Amino acid sequence: MAEKGLEAIRKELSKKVPELWTEHPEAKEDLRKKAEELIADIYEMCATKPYPIKIAGKEAKTFRECVELAAKEKGLSKAYKELWGTA
């Protein structure tokens, strides 16, 4: 597909996705609950402890790195896929 065609699709998707979240707040809430269940304790640590922080044998130097490592360590991606029915 031509690059211009992909750009048009991306723009269309970016307009429709927010509408879908608005129409289905329960989906967003289910994802939030799953994330909270899996990484709430580590998320708090990422927000309050001084950096660098070690998670799963790796060193996080920023809040973002910390949360990403925590999500990976706890299998958040797999849990989301299970919720979406794509696992």
pLDDT in tens, 56-73: 899 999 999 999 998 898
Q: Which residue has the tokens 């925590």?
A: 70
Mean pLDDT of 1-11: 73
Return the percent helix, strand and coil in the chain, to nearest 5. 75, 5, 15
Q: pTM (2 decimals)?
A: 0.64
